Structure 1
Amino acid sequence: MPVTTFLTYTALGLVLGAVYAIAASGLVLTYNTSGIFNFAHGAQAMIGAFTYYQLDVAWDLPAGVALVVVLGVLGPAMGWIQHALIMRGLRDTEQITRIVVTVAIMLGLVALAQWLWDPQEARVPGMLFGVDRTVTVLGVVLRYHEVLCLVIAVALAVGLRVLFNRSRLGVLMRATVDDPDLLSLTGHDPDRVSARAWMLGSTLAVLAGVLITPVIGGPLEANALTLLVVDAFAAALFGRLKSIPLTFLGAIVLGLMNSYLVAYAPSEWTWVGNLRQSLAMIVLFAILILLRHERLRGTATRSRERYEVPTVRRAVVWGGVFVLAVLAFRQIIDPSSVGVLQLGIAFAVIALSQTLLTGYAGELNLAPLAFSAIATLVAFHAGIQGEGLDARMSVGGLVAGVVAAAVTGAVVAIPALRLRGLYLALATLAFGVFVSSMILRDIQEHTLFGKTFAIFPNGNLLFPRLAIGPVDLADDDVFLMVTAVLFAVLGVGLVALRNSGYGRRLAAMKDSPAASAMLGQRLLRLKLTVFALSTAIAGLGGILMSMALRSVTKEHFVFTLSLSLVMLAVIGGIGYVSGALFGGLIAGAGLTAIVTLLSDTATAHPQFEGALGLVSHIILVGAGLAGIGIAQNPSGILHDVFAAHRRLAKAPEIRYGAAAVQGALYALAWFDVLGTGTFLLLSLVLWLSLPSIGAALRPEKVPGASARTVPPELIGVDADYPPGLARRLDEQLGVNVLRDEKGVSHAGA
């Protein structure tokens, strides 16, 4: 019965598309009323689904009561808290800061869900009204739950269109994005209006989470459910984040494509399951390519991000200090910990790609590890020489991997030639999900031109290390120092590039693309080259990461890890090489070392297992939510650290004393008086508190902590006019003005 089969799968596709439409409608709503794309939308849906299951199944509350709680309390509460505590402070920040904050919420909620609901326990939610309540339409049996999804989606499509275009509230919501100051002058509170939109958007996310899992089938799983609702991004982009009808149409098309793929894909297509998981991202990428060119704007919003570019000489000095620090640190750590440090530096190399692309050029890439995966696969297939324990990676394989990553970056950068900001971020995210869901899951053998191969054989690559003549990186100490030197060289190279004419063109493009184009800059060439350079660095870092691990799986390149790395680099300071080092070390070494330490301690002391497990979960949730703080300090924490240490310029004896104390701490660690963790903690406390110590010991030379350096162009904008400024201006201009004790002018000559 082909007609009945077609109608059945059409109905299933419409139901799935309806749920996508509900989720996408919430995205469109919040974006239109705040200008912020909520990457945490899927995680909010996931929290709603888990909470509903807990209330309805685990605690056996009536389904109606559970729905009232999650839709009437949890959804609005999450939206209000998100807006009140975080989103309202993002109006004058760069796009990357806005993205990172919502990404941090997503990662934090996923970690929270995995803490509260054990991933090892299967939780299968049932359909609303049960599976036995059905209705038959044209020979197709639909459950009440599925009919409800269709009805809600249609009602939302009509209701939101009326809200945006016919209601006073809708006009106020759109005005909060267009001109909040003007809206305030009319007697309305933009924050209150925006908060209502976030509450409604969060409620729609929770509703989608409750509805979608019974439709798809299977148990609740935090990462999978978050990614499932992320598929709604494609539907939202179909309507360009503005049109509710087009968003609804895009969701239906996406649902039907998914359903028809299951029904009519040939059985010999073993990769259909992988294609289904990445289908929405393929559609999203295609939509972004087909979008009309975004016009360059002559005006720009002043943001709070501030980065200071060091000189090449200073970068060389600090690069040398970094290499010596790694060498010294190696002498006091256990040999088993060397691998963790190697991994951290490899991640730092990947994060350097973000410093170049986002910090210098203002472009966005949310999936650096996807390009690392491409480089790893090419290097594995093209560069391994020898077998077994004698296998080594060749220089040719490494170069081939880096070039492949650069070429892939140039191809993926096609949307970058036409788009900026959010759209470009979504394009790279789509590519990252495609690599994770499609390429890295392909473990089947294929035959091409008479040769049999597998892209990711057995789902696990045994990755040998590089050998260059007599230098064999199989030795852990040699590999550690080579990666440290390589990071230092790349860091100095990026600083030199930023100080060059090319780097100044990148900075001009970041500040004002319209002005840069007006001055004759070729923006298309700039974007293409910076993407290729950035992804080449990410590819090199990915190969180093694979060498450090020696054995890699698809889990090492998942898109959530890419998002975590980007977030940590922004927290450190995306415009600084040291920000990349901070992000890489935390992502690749810090969190792993802390969690491993807590796990080992719990094994050695079972009586503390519960408390240590609690601390471990708190650390993981806190690490995910750490990016929220970037809303208050968009330049990164290292920017403030550098500014504080510059106050010590007139008191070098403070730094000399700190260096002596650091030497003493190192000696204690060398003789095993201090453990490695204690040494790192005391060293961190020493250098972070040094400006305060200097202000206490040398108050006449070191300004207090409240003093801050304000760029000259921001005096009177971001800071009050300092005392004595008018007098100094008069002196420079040669004007003789009589002033009273308060500096007020009375007469002049």
Structure 2
Amino acid sequence: MTTFLTFTILGLVLGSVYAIAASGLVLTYNTSGIFNFAHGAQAMLGTFLYWQLSVGWGLPVWLSLLLVVGVFGPLMGLLLHKLIMGALRDTAEVAKIVVTVAVMLGMVYLSQWIWDPVEPRTLTMFFGSDASIEIAGVVVRIHEILCLVVALAIALGLRMLFHRTRVGVVMRGTVDSPDLLRLNGHDPARVAAISWALGSALAVLAGILITPVSGGSLEANALTLLVIDAFAAAMFGRLRNIPPAFAGAMVLGLLGAYVTAYFPSDWTWTGNFRVSLPMILLFIVIVVLPQDRLRGAATRTRERYRVPSVRAAATWGLVLLGIVFLYSLLLADSGITTLGLGMAFAIIALSLTLLTGYAGEMNLAPMSFAAIATVIVFHFGITGSGLDASLNLPGIVLAVVATAVVGGLVALPALRLRGLYLALATLAFGALLSNMVLRDTVEHTLAGFTFTLFPDGTLIIPKPRFGPVDLGDPLTFLLVATALFALIATGLAVLRNSGYGRRLAAMKDSPAATAMLGQNLVKLKLSVFMLSAAIAGLGGILMSSAMGSVEGESFGLMASLALVMLVVVGGIGYISGALFGGVMSGIGFTLLVGTFNDLAISQPQAATFFELLGNVVMVGTALVGMGVGKTPSGSVQGIMDGYRSLRGARPVLIGGAVLVAVLYALALAGLYGSWTFTLLALVVVMALPAVGQKLMPHAVAPVEGHGHSDEIRDDEPFTATLRDRLDLALGLPARVPGVRAAAAQKGEEVNAPA
């Protein structure tokens, strides 16, 4: 009985802290419609600051708590809403998710920059660990009682706020109808900002309360993921209601405590299951809860993606292969291997282009499918041993097919999910795989066969070998990986221009309309999930082979979220966006940071400066993701639009190509290294549209999306110009010379008047 009471109290304490964090999530979602994936990172950052004030600088606990929870937390929420979240209205769900993911990553990188992860830091309980009382023979600390009291007070207070006060009704109305609120004299932006301030304060409070209870040293990733466990509690109330979220938090805390107390100690997977329990509950709750009805109309967002033609995709694939080969001539073997790793990441990123860019389905754990294929190919696809080991083709095919099947199995319970719910379901799957599979380093016996899923926490993956083609050679590996990327990209272009691709696009725009026209949404979703998982699996095998050895962290949630963020930054609806996101995720920022660290070691007199640059690069990675709200279609589109405007300024294009060729020749001659050439070539490529605008303004065509726009708003006055724009869009005779001229300038055919 004492054991039961002890772990019941522990579960209630943990549940109370989850309830505080979940309350902050419900508050911000209710007023802004944005699910804050950075909630755990805000708690982490506030907890580190509290440690710095109370322990590092010796300020009184009450003053540190007041400054962090009462000042820093609300200010952090206000700034997030003012600078970032306010720009996300009318963006797709993936953009909203990615921006908060970028904030989370940025806060983690910032904390690791300010507080050295190597140095241990701990927090003690309020009033000390010895301050306690005894209840039915169980010792309960004052800190634990305080957690319960604070959680209950917050739950009751928010419930009263939302349903018994005018301010609470206004808060809930900011999501449902901001225009109607404005007509009634309210400012939705101000109300949402206040909610973000309160939600941030609650997150910080939860982090400070839970750290002494969970024990151990402060660690940025661990504390961030610990508060993320509150996602499951928030989903009990469908992100809308405080009481169900509070009850869900208590269930979550109690189940975790009872697993620790009563699962047999000889079950080697008990610890992993305990860590995975919040994500398991999150997945179950999301699947079981009733979903919103299918959308009857297309959702109007600011994202605009051009559909690539098959010829263009194939041509650019050959161009990419040629560029990669020429660039490899400037690199040493280590550089060629690194670039091959980047191309493997780009193949994984193509799975997101298909699933999210074309079909509108969410997946926040692409690296999990890469991990599944890697584990399978490790057990069934290796021929030989030692230095003679290699991956064989049947093993690779088996791993890719098995990953596609797993993708289908994961999609089955999530077929009725969309948008945020689907994103959270895939996040839960990724966390479950990381905790239950990638941490499984013990032997198992099944039907007389002994095996270990992830032996020693590390898998050694050799290079593939297909007859005379040995990918052990770095250049061969790089060219094969690039060719595979080009082939898959061309295949996606074929798919997107086919009837199947048009059905995927229709499902993305309006599932209800697609179903009404007789399309089977279940088959569409299942097939696209399986194709996407297969592509991610193939990329994962190549990634693991390029690295040589992989650990569980290589496929962790942070790696998946960083990849998704960078692909969206590049443009998730474009193949070029996958190339950008994959290469930058796989090697870009890591290579830059490694270069600065090497410079710091080789030049100790400037070590502080180079270390500063390395940290700036890591934080800058997240800052790039935070700008998605301003460029929701991706940064690559902006670059390509700039070059499309130069179609009439051929001398500028030819001059730029000649200049890059000269720079390459000088690098090939050994005048400077590959890094210098890369930087100079990037400067030329980025500056060329601006140079063309300056030198030949009369020949530069207007960029689509700037100035005159082809999008016609339903609230736009019906004028003669608008009438002719409609005629042009419908292929009817144009009546205004200006419209005819604009159409001709854009290369569109205008019908002659009847």
Shorter-chain TM range is: over 0.9
**Counterpart pick for 2:547 among 546, 549, 571:** 549
AA paired with 2:113?
W
Structure 1 position 691, deviation (Å): 1.6
Instruction: State the match for 1:37 in structure 2.
Output: 35
Alpha-carbon distance between aligned partners in 2 of 1:609 and 1:736, rounded to the nearest angstrom: 65
Residue 139 (structure 1) aligns with: 137
Corresponding residue of 2:351: 353
Aligned to 2:167, the other structure's residue is in SS state helix
1:562 equivalent to 2:560? Answer yes
Pair 1:570–1:719, CA change in 2 (3 A): farther
Any idea what SS the aligned residue of 2:699 has?
coil
Shift of 1:414: 2.2
Pick closer, same or farther for the CA change 1:706–1:474 going to 2, 3 Å. closer
2:724–2:735 Cα contact (<8 Å) kept: no
Q: In the alignment, which of 368, 378, 381 is matched to residue 383 of structure 1? A: 381
2:26 aligned to 5, 28, 31, which one?
Answer: 28
Which moves more between the two structures, 465-474 or 644-653? 644-653
Distance 1:727 1:574 in 2: 29
Change (3 A) 1:7 1:657: same
Counterpart CA distance in 1 for 2:732 and 2:287 is 55
Q: Which one is further off, 197-206 or 466-475?
A: 466-475
Q: 1:98 to 1:617 in 2, by over 3 A?
A: same
Q: How does 1:162-201 map to 2 (within 5 A)?
A: 162-201=160-199
- Aligned partner of residue 130 in structure 1, secondary structure: coil
| Structure 1 counterpart of 2:248, one-letter code | G
Mark the runs of 5 or more structure 2 residues left unpaired by the alignment: 738-754
Q: CA separation in 2, counterparts of 1:181 and 1:44?
A: 30
- Displacement of 1:571 in angstroms is 0.2
Give secondary structure in 1 for the equivalent of 2:665: helix
- The answer for the alignment partner of 2:610 in structure 1 is 612
What's the secondary structure of 1:417's corresponding residue? Answer: coil
Does residue 313 (structure 1) correspond to residue 311 (structure 2)? The answer is yes
Deviation of the 1:673 alpha carbon: 1.3
- Alignment pair present for 1:454 and 2:452: yes
Secondary structure (helix, strand or coil) at the match of 2:305 reads coil
Given candidates 470, 477, 480, the residue that maps to 1:479 is 477
Structure 1: any 5+ residue segments left out of the alignment?
738-749
SS in 2 for 1:714: coil
Matched residues in 2 for 1:518 and 1:69: separation? 56
1:592-603 equivalences under 5 Å are 592-603=590-601
1:13-37 residue CA offsets vs partner (Å, 9 max, x unmatched): 1000000010011001111111100
Q: What is the number of equivalent residue pairs in this alignment? A: 735
Q: CA deviation at 1:603?
A: 1.5
Q: How many Å apart are 1:308 and its aligned residue?
A: 0.5
State the distance in 2 between where 1:688 and 1:634 align. Answer: 20
- 1:586 aligned to 575, 584, 587, which one? 584
Contact between 2:461 and 2:545, CA under 8 Å: does it hold in 1?
A: yes
1:463 aligned to which of 449, 461, 471: 461
Change (3 A) 1:727 1:131: closer
Partner of 1:271: 269
Aligned-residue offset at 1:710: 5.4
CA distance in 2, matches of 1:464, 1:78: 47
What is aligned with 2:243?
Answer: 245
Whether 1:71 and 2:69 are equivalent positions in the alignment is: yes
Question: What residue in structure 2 maps to residue 394 of structure 1?
Answer: 392
TM-score scaled by structure 2?
A: 0.95
Deviation at 1:601?
1.2
Aligned counterpart, 1:572: 570
Which letter does structure 2 place at the counterpart of 1:144?
I
1:118 aligns with 2:146: no
Q: Which residue of 1 aligns with 2:218?
A: 220
Moved more, 600-609 or 96-105: 600-609
Alignment of 1:64-103 (within 5 A): 64-103=62-101
Q: Give deviations 1:411-440, integer Å, cap 9, x for gaps.
A: 111243111000000000001111112210
- Kindly report the root-mean-square deviation, in angstroms, between the aligned alpha carbons of the 2 structures: 2.0
SS in 2 for 1:136: strand
TM (normalized to structure 1)? 0.95
Does the CA contact (< 8 Å) of 1:346 and 1:542 recur in 2?
Answer: yes
Cα deviation, residue 520, structure 1: 1.1
Q: Give the Å deviation of 1:693.
A: 1.7
**3-state secondary structure, aligned to 1:135:** strand
The one-letter code matched in structure 2 to 1:375 is A
TM-superposed CA distance for 1:722, in Å, is 11
Residues 639-676 of structure 1: CA distance to partner in whole angstroms, max 9, x if unpaired? 11111111112222322222111110110110121321
Aligned-pair CA distance for 1:637: 0.5
Taking only the aligned residue pairs, the percentage that are identical comes to: 57
Moved more, 359-368 or 263-272: 263-272
More displaced stretch, 226-235 vs 674-683: 674-683
> Conserved in 1, the CA contact under 8 Å of 2:381 and 2:396?
yes
Contact 2:124 2:212 in 1 (8 A): yes
Greater CA drift, 709-718 or 417-426: 709-718
678 and 705 in structure 1: CA distance in 2 versus 1, 3 angstrom threshold: farther
Q: 1: CA distance between counterparts of 2:716 and 2:473?
A: 53
Q: Give distance in 2, aligned partners of 1:701 and 1:725.
A: 29
Q: Which runs of 4+ in 1 moved over 4 A?
A: 704-707, 715-737
SS in 2 for 1:712: coil
Shift of 1:721: 8.5
CA distance in 1, matches of 2:481, 2:263: 46
Secondary structure of 1:362's match?
coil
Out of 251, 256, 259, the position equivalent to 1:258 is 256
Q: CA deviation at 1:213?
A: 0.8
Q: How far apart are the structure 1 equivalents of 2:621 and 2:671?
A: 30
**C-alpha displacement of 1:147:** 0.2
2:285 and 2:294 map into 1 onto residues whose CA distance is 20
Q: How many angstroms apart in 2 are the aligned matches of 1:734 and 1:673?
A: 57
Q: 2:402 aligns with which of 382, 404, 421?
A: 404
CA spacing shift, 1:132–1:591, aligned 2, 3 Å:
same
